[in-house]
């Protein structure tokens, strides 16, 4: 089983659109989801379940700070369009290449920062901090998540009810191994 965010649901065509990140690995070395993405043919079938729970972004805020890497881009794209149309803030999105950028249905006041360097946490920290209550939504690789959690919670004193922060993966670890590491990290945070 692998977890994905539905990018687009087209009920009249009985279709869903799901984004997958293709890592630069040999097909013989790749995991289940990568093999599926590389070998899928029209007419192939898959089983789906859900929807799972999706933590809402706290909309009771003056501004918003959204952070994602490629694995969380579909989730960010679903979340950003639920913001109030007069929302302001930042969406910092780390991509593999500039060609990976996608159109987002974002409020005009949200500054979209497409990043193609491995400096996600540093880029987030470099953004000017706006006045008022911030609401943070962040999903990315485990080590980046830990650095950003430190920044938002400790350096910026954002209260827990205004932060959703999650790692979607850990470099060099399978999804099953990541779930164990993520659970252990969450237990240490309580």
141 by DSSP, 3-state: which?
strand
- The answer for residues whose C-beta is within 8 angstroms of residue 101's C-beta and 6 or more apart is 93, 95, 114
CB atoms within 10 A of CB 138: 26
Q: What is the pLDDT of residues 69-128, one digit of tens each?
A: 988 998 899 899 999 999 999 999 999 899 989 999 999 999 999 999 889 999 999 999
55 by DSSP, 3-state: which?
coil
Q: What is the pLDDT of residues 1-13, one digit of tens each?
A: 666 767 778 889 9
Q: Could you tell me where the DSSP H helices lie in 40-153?
A: 73-80, 120-126, 142-149
Cα–Cα dist 82/7, whole Å: 14
Closest to 23 (Cα-Cα) out of 174, 178, 176? 174
- Which has more pLDDT, 3 or 129? 129
**Partner residues linked to 68 by β-bridges:** 93, 139
pLDDT of residue 112: 98
pTM, entire model: 0.78
Cα–Cα dist 185/165, whole Å: 12
Enter the CATH code of domain 63-189.
3.40.50.80
Distances (CA, A) of 150 to 46, 72, 163: 39, 19, 12
8 phi/psi in degrees, rounded to 5: -150, 140
pLDDT of residue 25: 54
Q: pLDDT class for 133, splitting at 50, 70, 90?
A: very high
Angle at CA 147, nearest 5°, toward 111 and 73?
A: 45
Distances (CA, A) of 118 to 22, 70, 97, 180: 17, 12, 11, 25
Q: What is the pLDDT of residues 20-61, one digit of tens each?
A: 666 555 555 566 677 777 788 888 887 777 666 667 799 999
């Amino acid at each position: 089983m692998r977890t994905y965010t539905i990018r687009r649901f087209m009920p009249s065509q009985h279709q869903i659109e799901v984004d997958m990140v293709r890592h630069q690995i040999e097909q013989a070395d790749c995991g289940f989801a990568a093999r599926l993405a590389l070998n899928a043919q029209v007419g192939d079938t898959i089983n789906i379940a859900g929807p799972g729970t999706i933590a809402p972004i706290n909309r009771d805020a003056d501004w918003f700070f959204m952070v994602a890497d490629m694995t969380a881009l579909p989730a960010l794209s679903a979340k950003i369009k639920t913001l109030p149309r007069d929302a302001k803030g930042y969406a910092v999105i780390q991509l593999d290449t500039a060609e990976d950028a996608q159109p987002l249905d974002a409020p005009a006041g949200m500054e979209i920062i497409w990043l193609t360097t491995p400096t996600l946490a540093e880029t987030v920290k470099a953004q000017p901090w706006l006045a008022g209550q911030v609401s943070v939504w962040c999903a990315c690789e485990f080590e980046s998540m830990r650095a950003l959690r430190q920044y938002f919670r400790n350096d910026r004193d954002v209260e827990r009810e205004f932060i959703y922060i999650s790692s979607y993966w850990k470099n060099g670890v399978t999804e099953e191994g990541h779930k164990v590491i993520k659970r252990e990290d969450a237990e240490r945070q309580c």
